[in-house]
Structure 1
Amino acid sequence: VGIQDMGAAGLTSSSFEMAGKSGAGMKLYLDKVPMREEGMNPYELMLSESQERMLICAKPGFENKIKEIFEKYELHAEVIGEVTDTGNMELFWKGELAGLIPIAPVTELAPVLDRPTKEPEYLNKIKNIKIDDFRKISAKKAFKTLLKDENIANKAYIYDQYDAHIGTNTIKMPGSLGAGAIRIKESGAAVAMACECNTRMNFVNPLVGATAAVAAAGRKVAMSGATPLSITDCLNYGNPQNPEVMWQFAKGCEGIKIACKELNTPVVSGNVSLYNETNGISVQPTPAIAMVGVLKDAKKLLNSHFKESGVSVFVLGDTGADFAGSLYMKSLFGVCGGELKELDFKAERALWDLVIKANDKGILEFANSVGVGGVAITLAKMSAFGGVGFKGECPYDDERWLFSESFSRSILGVKGKKNIAKLEAMAKEAGVKCQKIGKTKTNNSFELGSIEMSLDKLKKLYFSSFSEILSK
């Protein structure tokens, strides 16, 4: 019937939230709660914030079924109470009533902490910054600089230290670009997961930046062929006693709410980390979003990198001179500024649905979301990870647009004239711009417009730069 993550205040907050939202009551038998410590009393049990716990409200008669599922995965589950219609929280300890608390006043009439908010003054200083304010740099130089930036370089140096094989069910490993995925043996389905947050965009516009984080996480999941379903978030901000930081936080929450409603990906859990500052300087707003989706047939999971030569490569979605909060401006000129355009949710969802449908028809070879660093860097990572070369032309009048970070775009690979015709027809019907940019190739090079680099050098910069940065 329901499930609740046990976060701050543990069993108290979880049980009160579940009962309060339904207008019900609850009986809890606290001596039946599994305990890690001996001699715990009812007060400690209700307020303990032990990790890795969930409170489940099951349908009557299915208690043993739930226990069987938990036992299969070597997890502990116990029946500790029942739902009532009293509107009260009744706490029992070894057969005696230890607490009786009315639920509604606690959940519905709690005092609201209304902290003051103020739009940050820095926004007036940075909003008029544009890419044309800076000298032009060759695409080849920009490409090399961004490729070895810590925001782009492969992070295997960190995540390879952890076991990513989930009961031998991992079918797309970390670092494979885009979403990771695990299979569900019993059903043949796959669960795809992706995390996303661009702190620079959230610094420039906390509301649009938050919507973009939700959309980008969903886009990564969709590019695996899975349907994005829901998110969890980790909201990291500075000191909320600073009205400007509180304004960022409020706007970020609003942005997530808007995006999840428009994209039909509800928030099912999350947490908040505040007071992240050093010497009075707060971190950039960081609403990290993790999106989860399902692909009914795990065998249809899409790769996110080049696999072989001779595959036509397409850019889907509209590209413009969108450099607000971009890595291009930050990495090359040390500037984070500009004005973000609002995200077009219909265009975003149309892109997701198009790729999911095209993958289901079996006409795609690979797909990847265009993110930080734009088309050029996305293609470079796909080439480096797949170990396959690429040759393409710049489809834009200004090569700087290769590094634009316009929203709602992806890279697709299609092989064969019939499949290309199918993709183009589907894209036209969906109202999604579809533009061929090049082909994968066997020789040891990456070429895009005036950008040329050997595949060996490309791989070295992408795979080695991060560990070199940390070792300095």
Structure 2
Amino acid sequence: MIEQTATAIEASGLYEQWGLTSAEYQRIQELLGRLPNFTETGLFAAMWSEHCAYKNSKLLLKQFPTSGQRILQGPGEGAGIIDIGDGQAVVFKAESHNHPTAVEPYQGAATGVGGIIRDIFSMGAQPIALLDSLRFGELTDAHTRFLLQETVAGIGGYGNCIGIPTVGGELAFDDAYAANPVMNAMCVGLLDTTMQQKGQAAGAGNLIYYVGAKTGRDGIQGAIFASAEFNDAVEADRSAVQVGDPFMEKRLMDACLELIREHPEAVVGIQDMGAAGLVSSSAEMGAKADYGMTLNLDAVPQREAGMIPYELMLSESQERMLLCVAKDQGAVVEALFARYELDAVQIGEVTAAKQYQLYAHGEKVADVPIKALVDEAPVYQRPQRVPARLLTADPQQYQPQFTSATAVLTKLLQQPTLASKQAIYRSYDTQVKTNTVVAPGSDAAVLRIRGGRKALAMTTDGNGRYLYLNPEIGGQIAVCEAARNIVASGGVPLGITDCLNFGSPEEPESFYELAQATKGMSAACKALATPVISGNVSLYNESNGTAIYPTPMVGMVGLITDLALITTQDFKQAGDVIFLVGQTHADFNGSELQKMLTGNINGALFDFDLATEIAHQQLVQQAIRAGLVSSAHDLAEGGLAVGLAECCFGQQLGASIDVAMPASWLFAETQSRFIITVPAAQAAAFSQMAGEQAQQIGTVTAATDLVIKTNTETLTLDIVTSKQQWEGALAW
């Protein structure tokens, strides 16, 4: 890379290639009182990118509830923290790695996992679980199959090597994601609350230490790369994708946690070198503490020769952390990391002056106000326009027509979005550390907390099709469906993390979708008392001007207060009585059935009521706490018939069902519904508790058939054969 002079940068418009607008470049000149040099321009381009500054989304994010009685740390640090009692807290966050995964799926997915793990242990927490949320184009496309296989391999390869179980996730397919796959990774950790850390660099004279792997040229401009759309006219920049080393990460994690636990007096602050690398971690740590910083770039450990300051600062090489160390504790840090055979090098110190100063080869190569980098990025309120499809949407629900409900259910169960994900999660180690009580395959994963009776339930959820038809209501549903997963597992939802995957905010219709989705999510979070404690925004997910569906991923964690309350979706024994919580309506727009029968989705989204949702969740929680429930399952994509089949598949038990509805309604995707089973002796007690909120619809049988009698026909599904087809649909 050849450096240009400040005047040459202005004349050539190089800053525009790095994502800065002319107005932003002018604002930087005003902040500095001069033209920025080559390195400084690069620093601002990275720090003012959407990926780092949230300049197009910050105003919308302010509507999220972020506090609560249990919240120990909300947004603004490496991850959010929620108190779960007994001096313990759960720490979790999700991050997107969409653009890197589209270009280099194995490394894009692997480094997405690595980055989110670092966010968790930077808070002082021990990572205990990984989850993911994935979207791809249709599997009929060879390139999509390649992307899926490599992404899954990257997730499994990193998580398995580092010894953290991958316990849950979700996966959906649609043409909307063909050119822009979505790869969101979530990590959950456990924290002794006395060990809680912050990403801050405070105290003049305290030391800045670089620890972990050496810096190379991989991932340079990664944050800028993630803040731009794809275009066939411009080749995707593979150099912007990082390369991961999970074995290095394992040593780095163990070393950092040992330092935090054994030498707390040494650690002033700690932060992952994630998006925008060294500049982001160091500038943010200083600005948050209201201090400045000087860095000597000659001291930065390097694995490639001739790296210029711009490259050193913007590289996103993996497995690196930045520490602020008490001024008399440098030797302690160096000795500890030496035992792990990791670099631990002092590269600078904290200053009282609020400047961010970089030195290389004895010269000052950057000198800017630290808060200008971190806090002075512009904040945009973009124009909004209601998408034409919403203005012209048919208010009536699609009316499916078919001759055999049995044939429809058989085919639905083999649709890639509904099929068993066993072929995916068998690539992952789900049981390492032996704390996984409920592995992938039920509504939520559950991990016990050693030393007591508590457990954590965790899930990821979201449905871009619903948001495509109504972004506000779809945003509400995304949060509520995640909560239903937690409730069906015996937990109480605590809070959420999110990844907001949308198109370009500069397109009024895309910005409208983002604004409405966050409005809906905020309303649901407030209603459910599940604050947003962390997350990220991934915009510009589009190619050649065509965006993905608006796709917010909701990651949720819930507390199970006693292991005896853990509930799974599988039917447990013949004779149990099956109840349907919630009413069913002809809700088909945006459904799996509409897509399967017509090839697309359209029309106005069906109705949704938050008050009803909350009431039904509370009923199921009450019934589980009362010891009445044998199994519970949230109803979502595919509707009642698919949900019943999934309940049957686990133990290969059948069911005899009688419902007063047309056969087509078996596939309606009416929200706020659960299937629960109770022992026959408890059926009357549950009926009295539920009142009109639930209806008895059948019993579990020892036969291997699911038989559903409706007003128009009787559906009969062979459980053994159908399970084989369901499990084999995604096999490769």
> Does TM, scored on the shorter chain, surpass 0.5?
yes
- Aligned-partner residue type, residue 436 of structure 1: Q
C-alpha displacement at 1:221, in angstroms? 1.0
C-alpha displacement at 1:426, in angstroms? 2.8
Pairing partner for 1:116 from 383, 391, 400: 383
What is the aligned-residue identity percentage?
34
SS at match of 1:466: coil
Contact 2:479 2:554 in 1 (8 A): yes
Pairing partner for 1:155 from 421, 425, 446: 421
Matched, 1:359 2:619: no
Aligned to 1:408: 672
Matched, 1:456 2:720: yes
Pairing partner for 2:574 from 309, 318, 336: 309
C-alpha displacement at 1:113, in angstroms? 3.4
Q: 1:53 to 1:198 in 2, by over 3 A?
A: farther
SS at match of 2:650: helix
Counterparts of 2:281 and 2:290, CA distance in 1: 14
Deviations 1:270-321 (A, max 9, x none): 2333333345433222212211111122342111111221111111122212
- Aligned-partner residue type, residue 145 of structure 1: K
Aligned to 2:684: 421
Which shifted more, 134-143 or 164-173?
134-143
Q: How many residues align?
A: 451
Matched, 1:329 2:589: no
C-alpha displacement at 1:352, in angstroms? 2.4
SS at match of 2:729: helix
The equivalences for 1:64-463 within 5 A come to 88=354, 108-132=375-399, 134-174=400-440, 176-394=441-659, 396-417=660-681, 419-428=682-691, 433-449=693-709, 450-463=714-727
SS at match of 1:386: coil
Counterparts of 1:292 and 1:454, CA distance in 2: 35
Counterparts of 1:213 and 1:456, CA distance in 2: 32
Counterparts of 1:87 and 1:315, CA distance in 2: 64
Contact 2:616 2:693 in 1 (8 A): no
- Aligned-partner residue type, residue 404 of structure 1: A
Counterparts of 2:466 and 2:341, CA distance in 1: 41
Counterparts of 1:201 and 1:17, CA distance in 2: 36
Contact 2:301 2:343 in 1 (8 A): no
Deviations 1:382-403 (A, max 9, x none): 1012211111112x33222221
C-alpha displacement at 1:226, in angstroms? 0.9
Contact 2:574 2:700 in 1 (8 A): yes
Which shifted more, 204-213 or 1-10?
1-10
- Aligned-partner residue type, residue 112 of structure 1: V
Counterparts of 2:611 and 2:343, CA distance in 1: 42
Counterparts of 2:719 and 2:535, CA distance in 1: 40
Counterparts of 1:37 and 1:411, CA distance in 2: 56
Q: 1:249 to 1:338 in 2, by over 3 A?
A: same
Structure 1 unpaired stretches of 5+: none
Counterparts of 2:677 and 2:322, CA distance in 1: 44
SS at match of 2:536: strand
Q: 1:353 to 1:135 in 2, by over 3 A?
A: closer
C-alpha displacement at 1:34, in angstroms? 10
Counterparts of 2:431 and 2:341, CA distance in 1: 18
- Aligned-partner residue type, residue 352 of structure 1: Q
Contact 1:381 1:462 in 2 (8 A): no
SS at match of 1:185: coil
Contact 1:87 1:104 in 2 (8 A): no
C-alpha displacement at 1:356, in angstroms? 2.3
Counterparts of 2:278 and 2:531, CA distance in 1: 23
C-alpha displacement at 1:210, in angstroms? 1.8
Q: 1:10 to 1:384 in 2, by over 3 A?
A: same
TM-score by length of 2: 0.54
Q: 1:423 to 1:26 in 2, by over 3 A?
A: farther
Contact 1:237 1:274 in 2 (8 A): yes
TM-score by length of 1: 0.81
Contact 2:277 2:315 in 1 (8 A): yes
